[in-house]
């Protein structure tokens, strides 16, 4: 039986602050493999208390570079897992940018699709400030990025066995 647990957005932000400009050696660096942004966001969510879902191919987990779910490091796979997950692990929904809060995930896109994931670390005067890897940043204003569209994921809860 699954039970719902609340994730700690502040722990995600603290993790982002610690690792925004370096790499946690526990995880592979995906900069040379298409970008490290979603890998970094997954690490932040894991630090917030989200349990991994070890379901092969469709889960959300990381053991090592060769044993991980696509949702751990791929923008679209991450989105799909978070918005459709009914098993162990984090889940969330799309919310308007205007209500983004610390701990939310923003994904940037253009006419070819979504390509970059960011963690909201603060909101000042309605403007999100974010952390990211690939283009390493912490407390960078969202408006400083070039993008055609964005979506915001609020991921505050997870399912765990119990």
CATH, residue 118: 3.90.1720
Structural domains of the chain, count: 1
Looking at residue 143, the DSSP 8-state letter turns out to be G
Question: Residues in the chain, how many?
Answer: 162
Say if residue 29's pLDDT is above 90. Answer: yes
Whole-angstrom distance, CA of residue 151 vs CA of residue 43: 20
**pLDDT (average), residues 2-26:** 97
Residue 122 main-chain phi, psi, to 5 deg: -165, 160
User: Percent of the chain, pLDDT > 70?
Assistant: 100
Band (57; pLDDT cuts 50, 70, 90): confident
Contacts of 138 (CB under 8 A, 6+ apart): 16, 17, 20, 21, 121, 131
Band (19; pLDDT cuts 50, 70, 90): very high
The boundaries of the domain holding residue 36 are: 2-161
Looking at residue 53, the DSSP 8-state letter turns out to be B
Whole-angstrom distance, CA of residue 123 vs CA of residue 142: 10
**pLDDT (average), residues 117-135:** 97
Band (141; pLDDT cuts 50, 70, 90): very high
**pLDDT (average), residues 111-123:** 97
What confidence tens digit (pLDDT) does each residue in 151-162 have?
999 999 999 998
**pLDDT (average), residues 19-48:** 95
Predicted pLDDT of residue 1: 87
Say if residue 26's pLDDT is above 90. Answer: yes
Residue 151 main-chain phi, psi, to 5 deg: -135, 150
Q: How many CA atoms lie within 13 A of 162 on its CB side?
A: 9
Say if residues 121 and 140 touch (Cβ distance below 8 Å).
Answer: no
Predicted pLDDT of residue 32: 85
Mean pLDDT of the chain: 96
């Amino acid at each position: 039986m699954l039970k719902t647990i609340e994730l700690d957005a502040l722990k995600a932000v603290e993790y982002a602050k610690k690792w925004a400009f370096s790499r946690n050696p526990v995880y592979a660096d995906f900069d040379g493999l298409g970008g490290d942004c979603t890998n970094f966001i997954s690490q932040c969510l894991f630090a917030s208390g989200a349990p991994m879902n070890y379901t092969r191919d469709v889960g959300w987990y990381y053991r090592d570079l060769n044993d991980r779910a696509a949702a751990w490091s791929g923008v679209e796979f991450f989105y799909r897992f978070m918005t459709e997950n009914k098993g162990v692990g984090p889940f969330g929904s799309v919310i308007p940018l205007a209500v983004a809060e610390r701990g939310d995930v923003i994904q940037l896109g253009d006419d070819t699709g979504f390509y970059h994931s960011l963690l909201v670390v603060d909101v000042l005067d309605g403007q999100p400030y974010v952390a990211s890897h690939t283009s390493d940043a912490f407390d960078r204003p969202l408006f400083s990025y070039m993008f055609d569209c964005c979506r915001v994921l609020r991921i505050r809860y997870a399912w765990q066995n119990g």
